[in-house]
Structure 1
Amino acid sequence: MSSLTLEIPALAAVPTAARQLAAALAASGQTIVAFAGEMGAGKTTLIRALCAELGVHDDVSSPTFALVNEYRDGRGQPIYHFDFYRVDSEEEAARLGAAEYFDSGYLCLIEWPSRVTGLLPSQRLLVELSVTGPESRQLSIISEQ
């Protein structure tokens, strides 16, 4: 298990962190990225910046009610963005086809992964966001194998 820790001193530094996350993602070869952090930690903000870094031109927003949004990266490949905050059980997520998305080979960005832990592949990147101040965050990128 390898890890990288980044400091995000202010909101203006999020694009730089997203660039570093994109590089870590490319180096890892992983397609599953689990974003953990308390409500308001900036998971969606970071995902929006990551998608911009990957060439997404769509409006990136949290799929809280839709559960999954699909975007296209700069190469036309799908990126799936999940928000499992409102999912009541792993069974509900399974019925919605989460495993098929995870097995697709395309990039899956997952908010609130703790709600579907049993459905997640064991090989993934875990991105933990910790609030360290009004605008500052600590970002830990952990490769789980």
Structure 2
Amino acid sequence: MFTRKVTSIDELQSVAEELVSAFSADRVFAFYGKMGAGKTTFIQSICRVLGSEDNVTSPTFALINEYNTDQLESIFHFDFYRIKELEEAYDLGYEDYIYSGSYCLIEWPEMIEPLLPDNIVEVKIEVQDDESRVITAARI
């Protein structure tokens, strides 16, 4: 299991590098954490590690953002916070993205858990009393 404690936002880039390296064969990452835990901020660092210089923002209203890497590969960033029914994910065509072989970074995956494939990387971000974060990751 991957576990890192982050005490400063400046540490996120190196933790993102370690995460991507530790799960180099994986493409679907599900990010769990309370509102404000830092999911989007961590995903910004991951996108930089993957070679994207695009402006990475939460796709809360659009549900999905696409970023390009310096190798012209796509990274798909989902935010399912506002999903009320699984049919919305079907309407979005989530399968086309999830099974594309491209990186898929999913915020609020608990909203579509029945649709998630096997063998994804579950990333949990837990806020500690001292405001540091503990980031854990494991293939599930």
TM-score, normalised with respect to structure 1: 0.92
Counterparts of 1:131-142 in structure 2, within 5 Å, are: 131-133=127-129, 135-142=131-138
Match of 1:12 in 2: 10
What SS does the aligned partner of 1:128 have? strand
Separation of aligned partners in 1, 2:94 and 2:129: 34
Q: How many residues align?
A: 140
Unaligned runs of 5+ in 1: none
Match of 1:62 in 2: 58
Unaligned runs of 5+ in 2: none
Select which of 49, 67, 71 maps to 1:53: 49
Measure how far apart 1:103 and its partner are. Answer: 1.1
Measure how far apart 1:82 and its partner are. Answer: 0.2
What SS does the aligned partner of 2:67 have? strand
Say what the alpha-carbon RMSD is for the aligned residues.
1.1
What SS does the aligned partner of 1:140 have? strand
Q: Which runs of 4+ in 1 moved over 2 A?
A: none
Match for 2:96: what amino acid?
Answer: E
Match for 1:56: what amino acid?
Answer: S
What SS does the aligned partner of 1:47 have? helix
Match of 2:104 in 1: 108
What SS does the aligned partner of 1:92 have? helix
TM-score, normalised with respect to structure 2: 0.95
Separation of aligned partners in 2, 1:89 and 1:40: 23
Measure how far apart 1:134 and its partner are. Answer: 5.2
Counterparts of 1:1-145 in structure 2, within 5 Å, are: 3-26=1-24, 29-133=25-129, 135-144=131-140
What SS does the aligned partner of 1:88 have? coil
The percentage of counterpart residues that share the same residue type is 41
2:2–2:19 CA contact under 8 A, matched in 1: no
